[in-house]
Chain A
């Protein structure tokens, strides 16, 4: 763990990445046309246009620029101006004079048009790259509530958030990660609600990242979290705007990364991964029922198959007589011990899930049907497994998909294998020991230095009404304790 941290975290002396741009760019040199063109040598997408009679040159990357804005800000004013008026045009506030070459190159890469005139350089940002339109999230679909979700453009994502939080207190800090990719990362927080210690800690972690490229929010999250070697996700990511905004107003911090639809929120607790925006869009009793169902699903997914293995290997006395007859009959044809039987079935389910996830929807459906027949009927008839195990495995697989966070659900499915193996080796004692190990591990985890097991340990009973149940809104008066918000009361509604 420490080795990994040392790679990424603050203040360590790391050899310079090989792909660093050439040395001259690092120096503070005055921007010149020839130098800029030289820097972009062999870049086929660079566009160089000029108005020779007026002594103006434009350099930009064609596909990053909005054509309409280019016509409005470049074509019309410069073509209509006489050579003497060019300086006057460039005096307008939208054209920024750039003093050093490094900044100018960076601006061009960010979607600006560089204008050279009379030995001086100017830039105007006309960035309008092609992006995916705002669509519904496929991984976090809800029945009620807003359906728009983030896409890969940070600017679009920021605008989606801004539209919902019309407050000047929503602050956005811009940072960069990736020595080569220079990906923009924005840290969002609401002044007066978010705890500045968390904001500073998050910004510090992002600034200290030293890797060549970060490709997605889910990748960034693993670099900045507290314990990279834990199987559990420590910061939730969401594609849903309403979910992100609700976290923001709860005093959490958001991290929006350009090129990724996954927005990170921090700090978070283990139990937060079991809530869904749906809970708030339904009557509170339904919301509460759903929450309880999800925690029941957690217990089912972790223990069901393991308990089957434990009972059928070590504790036959626990099965009532009537059920025992059915079970013995069903198991009589199976030549393997229950642990092999269970692992085989669990592995098949995982294969089906992975195959279904990678294939196009139509083929995915076929895989589902074929898989269903294979694991459902054929495996039993072939004497590879018992009926009751199929029910146990299927219930725990279905239960794992009840967990709204895909990452958490995947982590839990993985640890389930450990529990099955331990149960096969030591029965219920093995199962309990595995659970103890998980709890010991969880108790040591932190999310942005705050306890991952909040509000259970440290115990914050007042937060339970928005974690294990979804209390009516008039009862949800305070922000979560984990946010350590300077403004604790969020709601002064009365019954």
Chain B
């Protein structure tokens, strides 16, 4: 019997895909786009994500646990299918690769300024390749191990209680300069990752438990984001926060232990785990999609080609700001995919149900 993913692992998987380097700049994004006490907006955005998860769970439920590819292939003709698959492959592969590149570029602000980024990217690509070819079951096992190895860092927030001041929170809500829609979209990209639940459907069994697990994963992410943002809002002044590129990174550099200090590089190093998972899962999704176009191609070969191609394309943006521009564009597309894909699938299921005698 094919092994199924346990809902505990699904929750961890979703949490780890969602989490990533964006957490370093999230409090600034929230402050810039939502103004005073902007962290409260995270709860609203999390609810939007929850709604989207519910939508995907309907596809899971009405589709009877069948893969989304099978649902598409039952209805759509090949000339529509292949471009759709190719589009999804591109979006997922590029998102995955640029997440890694973003990580590498940010790391180069801290260290390795003279190291060529190609070198670092190639190493991450090798790790991602080894990760992806293990198959989804082993992938979720590795993710769980990475989770335990990296998430203890959340406890570091306790270090800041001493310097935290409630007065900095101010009684204002969303006051000051705000960009609710545009900013909302860029902050919402921090929640992306849950939409890969669509591809996990054939590997899980009970839709209710899975839906709960994905929602719990999203809830954990929300908790982590909100906790870190609150600390940043209470630790820095609002204006300061708005002008810091990576406030969480600076926050980490405050930690001092008797024998070690300025450990932000070390702690940022731990984020390579979440980066590998986010990139790996997007690459895995791209590979699964590509496999529908080229069913005879070997899984390893496909993974190799997709990672290689994504790596080559991701070479075009050559500065951090360009990478972030690309990522922003990709995350907008990904948000569209996250909402449109389940709606399209639900429409297909409704049409099929109507057509059935």
A residues at B contact (CB < 8 Å)? 314-315, 317-320, 323, 426-429, 431-433, 435-437, 439-444, 451, 453, 456-459
Binds A, one of B16-24, B72-80, B139-147, B281-289: B139-147
**What would 14 more interface pairs be, CB under 8 Å, given A426-B112, A435-B149, A440-B134?**
A318-B266, A320-B258, A323-B259, A432-B272, A433-B123, A436-B146, A441-B130, A444-B134, A451-B141, A457-B142, A458-B6, A458-B9, A459-B12, A459-B144
Once A431-B269, A442-B145 are accepted as A-B contacts, the answer to whether A437 and B260 lie under 8 Å apart by CB is no
| B263 CB contact (under 8 Å) in A318, A436, A437 | A318
Q: B113-155 interface mask toward A, CB cutoff 8 Å, 1 = contact, 0 = none?
A: 0010000100110010011001000111111111011000000
> In whole Å, how far is B88's beta carbon from the nearest beta carbon of chain A?
25
Q: Which 9 pairs, one residue from A and one from B, show the smallest C-beta to C-beta distance? A: A443-B142, A457-B141, A457-B144, A428-B269, A432-B269, A443-B141, A317-B262, A432-B272, A439-B145
Q: Which residues of B contact A427 (CB under 8 A)?
A: 111-112, 265
A369 CA / B149 CA spacing, docked (Å): 39
> In whole Å, how far is A212's beta carbon from the nearest beta carbon of chain B?
35
- B134 to chain A: closest residue by CB: A444
Q: B37-66 interface mask toward A, CB cutoff 8 Å, 1 = contact, 0 = none?
A: 000000000000000000000000000000
Q: Which residues of A contact B261 (CB under 8 A)?
A: 317-320
Which B262-280 residues have a C-beta within 8 angstroms of A?
262-263, 265-266, 269-270, 272-273, 276
Once A432-B270, A439-B146, A443-B138 are accepted as A-B contacts, the answer to whether A315 and B131 lie under 8 Å apart by CB is no
> In whole Å, how far is B301's beta carbon from the nearest beta carbon of chain A?
17
| A315 CB contact (under 8 Å) in B111, B256, B273 | B111
- A317 to chain B: closest residue by CB: B262
- Decide: B141 and A436 in contact? CB cutoff 8 A: no
Asked if B8 is at the interface (CB within 8 A of a chain A CB), the reply is: yes
Q: Which residues of A contact B146 (CB under 8 A)?
A: 436, 439
Would you give 7 A-B contacts (Cβ < 8 Å), ordered by A?
A426-B120, A428-B265, A433-B124, A436-B146, A439-B145, A440-B276, A456-B148
Q: Which residues of B contact A442 (CB under 8 A)?
A: 142, 145
Q: Which residues of A contact B332 (CB under 8 A)?
A: none
- B108 to chain A: closest residue by CB: A429
- B139 to chain A: closest residue by CB: A443
A456 CA / B8 CA spacing, docked (Å): 11
A436 CA / B127 CA spacing, docked (Å): 8
B residues at A contact (CB < 8 Å)? 6, 8-9, 12, 107, 111-112, 115, 120, 123-124, 127, 130-131, 134, 138-146, 148-149, 256, 258-263, 265-266, 269-270, 272-273, 276
| B120 CB contact (under 8 Å) in A314, A429, A451, A457 | A429
A323 CA / B262 CA spacing, docked (Å): 14
- Decide: B9 and A429 in contact? CB cutoff 8 A: no
| B272 CB contact (under 8 Å) in A436, A441, A458 | A436
A441 CA / B145 CA spacing, docked (Å): 11
> In whole Å, how far is A231's beta carbon from the nearest beta carbon of chain B?
15
Q: Which residues of A contact B263 (CB under 8 A)?
A: 318
Q: Which residues of B contact A459 (CB under 8 A)?
A: 6, 8-9, 12, 144
Q: Which residues of A contact B124 (CB under 8 A)?
A: 433
Once A436-B127, A443-B138 are accepted as A-B contacts, the answer to whether A318 and B272 lie under 8 Å apart by CB is no
> In whole Å, how far is B216's beta carbon from the nearest beta carbon of chain A?
14
- B143 to chain A: closest residue by CB: A457
Q: Which residues of B contact A444 (CB under 8 A)?
A: 134, 138, 142
> In whole Å, how far is A281's beta carbon from the nearest beta carbon of chain B?
29
> In whole Å, how far is B8's beta carbon from the nearest beta carbon of chain A?
5
> In whole Å, how far is A455's beta carbon from the nearest beta carbon of chain B?
10
Q: Which residues of B contact A429 (CB under 8 A)?
A: 107, 111-112, 120, 269, 272
- B273 to chain A: closest residue by CB: A436
A443 CA / B144 CA spacing, docked (Å): 9
> In whole Å, how far is A475's beta carbon from the nearest beta carbon of chain B?
21
A436 CA / B125 CA spacing, docked (Å): 12
Q: Which residues of A contact B123 (CB under 8 A)?
A: 426, 433
Q: Which residues of A contact B273 (CB under 8 A)?
A: 432, 436
| B262 CB contact (under 8 Å) in A318, A435, A439, A443 | A318
A320 CA / B261 CA spacing, docked (Å): 6
Q: Which residues of A contact B144 (CB under 8 A)?
A: 453, 456-459
Q: Which residues of A contact B262 (CB under 8 A)?
A: 315, 317-318
> In whole Å, how far is B274's beta carbon from the nearest beta carbon of chain A?
10
Once A320-B256, A320-B259, A456-B148 are accepted as A-B contacts, the answer to whether A433 and B127 lie under 8 Å apart by CB is yes
| B127 CB contact (under 8 Å) in A323, A440, A443, A456 | A440
Q: Which residues of B contact A426 (CB under 8 A)?
A: 112, 115, 120, 123
| B266 CB contact (under 8 Å) in A315, A323, A437 | A315
- B140 to chain A: closest residue by CB: A457
- Decide: B8 and A319 in contact? CB cutoff 8 A: no
A431 CA / B107 CA spacing, docked (Å): 14
Q: Which residues of B contact A457 (CB under 8 A)?
A: 9, 140-145
| A318 CB contact (under 8 Å) in B107, B142, B265 | B265
- B256 to chain A: closest residue by CB: A320
- A428 to chain B: closest residue by CB: B269
Interface centre among B107, B141, B261 (most CB of A within 10 A): B141
Q: Which residues of B contact A435 (CB under 8 A)?
A: 149
Q: Which residues of A contact B112 (CB under 8 A)?
A: 314, 426-427, 429
Q: Which residues of B contact A428 (CB under 8 A)?
A: 111, 265-266, 269
Q: Which residues of B contact A439 (CB under 8 A)?
A: 142, 145-146, 149
Q: Which residues of A contact B265 (CB under 8 A)?
A: 314-315, 317-318, 427-428
Once A429-B112, A456-B144 are accepted as A-B contacts, the answer to whether A437 and B258 lie under 8 Å apart by CB is no
Q: Which residues of A contact B270 (CB under 8 A)?
A: 432
- Decide: A437 and B111 in contact? CB cutoff 8 A: no
A457 CA / B61 CA spacing, docked (Å): 27
Q: Which residues of A contact B149 (CB under 8 A)?
A: 435, 439
Q: Which residues of A contact B115 (CB under 8 A)?
A: 426
> In whole Å, how far is B82's beta carbon from the nearest beta carbon of chain A?
32
- A439 to chain B: closest residue by CB: B145
| A440 CB contact (under 8 Å) in B8, B140, B142, B269 | B142
Interface centre among A319, A426, A429, A432 (most CB of B within 10 A): A429
Q: Which residues of B contact A318 (CB under 8 A)?
A: 260-263, 265-266
A436 CA / B269 CA spacing, docked (Å): 11
Q: Which residues of B contact A451 (CB under 8 A)?
A: 141
- B258 to chain A: closest residue by CB: A320
> In whole Å, how far is A282's beta carbon from the nearest beta carbon of chain B?
27
A439 CA / B145 CA spacing, docked (Å): 7
Q: Which residues of B contact A441 (CB under 8 A)?
A: 130
A138 CA / B273 CA spacing, docked (Å): 40
- A427 to chain B: closest residue by CB: B111
> In whole Å, how far is B102's beta carbon from the nearest beta carbon of chain A?
14
- B129 to chain A: closest residue by CB: A440
- A438 to chain B: closest residue by CB: B145
